[in-house]
Structure 1
Amino acid sequence: MAGVAGAARRCLPFIRAWLRSTNTHPRAAHSRRLRPAAARFPSGCNGEQSTGSTRQARGSSRDGGGPGHGTTTVPLGPRSPSGSAGLSQPRGGGGCPGVLRGMRGAGAPAVTVRGNLQTAANALARRSGGQVLTLDARNHGGSPHSPVMTYEAMSLDVQQLLARLGIRKCIVLGHSMGGKTAMALALQRPDLVERLISVDISPVSTTLVSEFSAYISAMKSVNIPAGLSRSAARQLADSQLSPAVQHPQLRQFLLTNLVEVEGRYVWRVNLEAISHHLEDIMSFPDFHKPYPGPTLFLGGSNSPYISSKDYPEIQRLFPKADIQFIEGAGHIVHQDKFEEFITAVLNFLPPP
């Protein structure tokens, strides 16, 4: 995904894209329909089970909620509380999966998986008449930390939550790492997914950029003395990050994850788990049986994360895929071209 909660909800695993998305890869905006591919055998999958508790979130100030089209935030992870603790205001910071109930007044809910999609989720809920459930992914936001951070495990987190909420079928949307989680969900449990939208990411390995490890090391080395105000702590952390993270916008993004806990400033995201699973995050699991439902790959024309070399694997795993590019958008498609993004998603949804 910025709105009230949006700016605080960018996920750390996306930081590699902030610098790369500033590079230009000129490409004409177009839509490509892939022909069906033959089905293969299903693969096994491993992960951890999870539950979550709901928290009511206010609508975005940009295109927000109201009666009948609000948002609810849910933490995810293997140690989440099993019971609902009632509704309260969410904290900023984690990933943003979500569920749109009753898109256009009826039909399957739509799940948006991670990637700062809060503002977009609010807009989609408002314009479709649905209700949004956003999810804090494991190791982010209000969700518990876990040493395991694979796409299979994150997919199972969503599966367990859907089962707990009694959602039998949904429309899934995810951006970047969240897009890979959404794809894993569709491939593991196609019976749960009516339609799939992957925003600016393909089901292939992403080249690991060297800066990513440097950013994590820089965050680990930040030392903030107790007693500082939040603004002073952020200024000090900014100066400590600047030698390794030279892009000011990227530093400001990282600092959204700096929170005060019992008088100490710590990083909300689980840096140890993320650094340990970098290879898993940058890759994509092996699947053999394709997802048979309608799929939209929605990329930015200035982003490198969906390219023609990915088309064969997209066709193999998602034979009903439609590939579209939004002209002038980088990796953060829903921020660069907000209205075009919302229009493309609404056009892909089933008719009322």
Structure 2
Amino acid sequence: MAYNLHKPASGGDEKHEPIIFMHGLFGSKTNNRGISKMLAKELNRSIYALDLRNHGESPHIKPHTYTAMAEDVEHFIKENNIQNPTLIGHSMGAKVAMSVALRSPDLIQDIVAVDNAPVNAQLGRQFAMYVQAMHRIEATHIIDTQEADEIMESYEPIVEIRQFLFTNLLKPTATHDKFRWRIPVRILGDSLDEMASFPFTPGGSAVFTKPVLFVRGTESKYVADETIPLIGEFFPRFQLKDVKAGHWLISENPEGFKNVCLEFFKREKES
């Protein structure tokens, strides 16, 4: 798996109790560069920002499921001899973090799940629209990024989200004469139903008894109040904190997100 390593100023041992940060659908390790540097400084812990499969510079490979991505992360931890890490994941990355916790609780010490819950819930309609837009841009043989933006604008009016999606758009090179997507659009488009699911059912033996922080955006619908009892079935030691933001809360309100994380880690260290 591709990753960026953010180390605190004091250096330290990046193998001992680091944080592993995982992005959401259509994201990459670069999305979390700013918050990773902030948390590394504040917590004096190294942070690995990963590219999950089919994103960024990691391999394009089927299947694109939470079980497969959890296996990737577990392999990354073992291969790099990482001891007692914390997992932080946003959206798709949150479900990956939850899956690792329920599959391999002895590998990690705690998790922070950002704006997602351990439920089968329909993805927002916008994700299917983004896939449609990406296919259309591929088929149009655009000549510049402005033309790509004009196409994407008919599917997504918010410029900041379009800019986020365009971090995956590669410009022509000597070996590729047209714009193309860094991500495998067809694989991800075909996996949208899978991304709406969760690979565990409540009432079974899969329970993570270590600390968990759920962070949700006050203007997001991904962690509804009715999911809270279900969260408790999987994660009995969970805490829930609200941050004034929408679904993209880490970029919308990084200070608010940082503060709830610091409070969580400080409390766990004191307990």
Relative to the length of structure 1, the TM-score reads 0.66
Query: 1 CA distance for matches of 2:185 and 2:91?
Result: 18
Structure with the larger RCO, 1 or 2 (CA within 8 Å, 6+ apart): 1
Q: Relative to structure 1, is the Cα distance of residues 308 and 124 closer, same or farther in structure 2, using a 3 angstrom cutoff? A: same
SS, match of residue 86 in structure 2: strand
SS, match of residue 117 in structure 1: helix
One-letter code of the match for 1:311? I
- How many residues end up aligned between the 2 structures? 255
Q: Is the 8 A contact 2:5 2:47 kept in 1?
A: no
Q: Relative to structure 1, is the Cα distance of residues 257 and 169 closer, same or farther in structure 2, using a 3 angstrom cutoff? A: same
The equivalent residue for 1:248 is 159
Percent identical among aligned pairs is 30
Q: Relative to structure 1, is the Cα distance of residues 120 and 270 closer, same or farther in structure 2, using a 3 angstrom cutoff? A: same
Query: 1 CA distance for matches of 2:250 and 2:67?
Result: 25
User: Does residue 221 of structure 2 align to residue 304 of structure 1?
Assistant: yes
The equivalent residue for 1:135 is 50
Q: Is the 8 A contact 1:101 1:110 kept in 2?
A: no
User: Does residue 265 of structure 2 align to residue 346 of structure 1?
Assistant: no
User: Does residue 193 of structure 2 align to residue 279 of structure 1?
Assistant: yes
- 1:194 CA drift (Å): 0.6
- 1:129 CA drift (Å): 1.7
Q: Is the 8 A contact 2:4 2:50 kept in 1?
A: no
- 1:53 CA drift (Å): 5.8
Superposed CA RMSD in Å reads 2.4
Query: 2 CA distance for matches of 1:53 and 1:283?
Result: 25
- Runs of 4 or more, structure 1, over 6 Å off, are none
Q: Relative to structure 1, is the Cα distance of residues 250 and 134 closer, same or farther in structure 2, using a 3 angstrom cutoff? A: closer
Query: 2 CA distance for matches of 1:296 and 1:269?
Result: 30
One-letter code of the match for 1:141? G
Deviations 1:119-171 (A, max 9, x none): 11111001122222211111111111012110010011010011111113211
User: Does residue 109 of structure 2 align to residue 194 of structure 1?
Assistant: yes
- 1:270 CA drift (Å): 1.3
Query: 2 CA distance for matches of 1:200 and 1:191?
Result: 24
- 1:225 CA drift (Å): 4.6
Q: Relative to structure 1, is the Cα distance of residues 225 and 278 closer, same or farther in structure 2, using a 3 angstrom cutoff? A: closer
Deviations 1:86-124 (A, max 9, x none): xxxxxxxxxxxxxx947xxxx622222224322111110
Structure 1: segments with no counterpart, 5+ residues: 1-51, 60-64, 70-99
Q: Relative to structure 1, is the Cα distance of residues 294 and 259 closer, same or farther in structure 2, using a 3 angstrom cutoff? A: same
**Which of 6, 19, 24 matches 1:110?**
19
Deviations 1:260-282 (A, max 9, x none): 35233111111111111111101
Deviations 1:176-201 (A, max 9, x none): 11101000000000001211111111
Structure with more of its chain in helix, by fraction:
2
Relative to the length of structure 2, the TM-score reads 0.85
The equivalent residue for 1:236 is 147
Deviations 1:51-100 (A, max 9, x none): x466667x8xxxxx65628xxxxxxxxxxxxxxxxxxxxxxxxxxxxxx9
